[in-house]
Amino acid sequence: MERVVLALIVVATITALPLVQCTADDPMKVAHWFHAVLPLAKEKTTHLHFYLHDIVSGKNPTSIKIAQSPTSDKSPTLFGIVEMIDDVLTVGPDPNSKPVGRAQGIYGYAGKDSFSLLTNMNFVFTSKEYNGSTLSVLGNNPVLETYREMPITGGTGAFRLARGIVTSKTYSLNITSGDAIVEYSIMVLHY
């Protein structure tokens, strides 16, 4: 009987702790999460949807060229150009709609014969339950295709041990300025 009560108290204590921790924890809390919370946690599926604003033009671009090869300008596919981004993510396609985070990272034009971007970025979320949590994306982004699929390689906070798939679709592209709005739909497995 005593053992049952003790076991119940232990379970109650563990489940009373938040399953997700969005801001960075000290190492002891992270260790506790792995030892005590994770074994009882059930993997769940979350669908995220937002729009990314890639601004290359004007006085305040969120996407800037940081490197290129001497031959990149002559390449029909811009092969060798590398851009650093800190793009705003919003709930709707309107840039003035509610912001939910930023996409921070690097993309490089990796295709000699096609517009094929090596995309390496982190979604850094700032809204509600995902505030402070991140998802990491590393993949091939053939930007002229209607849909592009990229892997989620991990995450932090609410997305510890995350895996999943990102689907991106260009919502609009201003050919004059180069600015683009990209729709993102994410299916992510996490705890």
Ligand X SMILES: *[C@@H]1O[C@H](CO)[C@@H](O)[C@H](O)[C@H]1NC(C)=O
Cβ-count burial of 26 within 10 angstroms (0-12 exposed, 13-18 middle, 19+ buried)?
Answer: exposed
In sequence order, the 6+-apart residues with CB closer than 8 A to the CB of 188 are: 45, 46, 47, 48, 135, 152, 155, 159, 162, 163, 164
Q: Does the footprint of ligand X cover residue 97 (CB under 6 A)?
A: no
**118 neighbors 110 (Cβ within 8 angstroms):** yes
The tokens for 11 are: 């379970």
Identify the residue among 131, 136, 140, 167 touching ligand X (CB under 6 A): 131
Q: Does the footprint of ligand X cover residue 177 (CB under 6 A)?
A: yes
The least distance separating ligand X from the CB of residue 179, rounded to whole angstroms, comes to: 7
Q: Does the footprint of ligand X cover residue 127 (CB under 6 A)?
A: yes
Q: Does the footprint of ligand X cover residue 176 (CB under 6 A)?
A: yes
Residue span binding ligand X (CB under 6 A) among the ranges 6-14, 77-85, 114-122, 173-181: 173-181
Identify the residue among 23, 45, 96, 146 touching ligand X (CB under 6 A): 23
Q: Does the footprint of ligand X cover residue 170 (CB under 6 A)?
A: no
Half-sphere exposure of 83 (CA within 13 A, CB side): 21
CA distance 154 to 163: 6
Host H or E run for residue 86? strand 82-90
The least distance separating ligand X from the CB of residue 2, rounded to whole angstroms, comes to: 42
CA distance 43 to 112: 40
Count, residues near ligand X per rule CB under 6 A? 9
Residues 34-63 that bind ligand X (CB under 6 A): 57
Residue span binding ligand X (CB under 6 A) among the ranges 62-70, 110-118, 124-132, 162-170: 124-132
Residue span binding ligand X (CB under 6 A) among the ranges 35-43, 80-88, 96-104, 125-133: 125-133
Q: Alpha-carbon Rg of the chain, whole angstroms?
A: 20
User: What is the residue whose two structure tokens read 């076991």?
Assistant: 7
The least distance separating ligand X from the CB of residue 127, rounded to whole angstroms, comes to: 6
Catalog residues that contact ligand X under the rule CB under 6 A: 23, 57, 126-127, 131-132, 174, 176-177
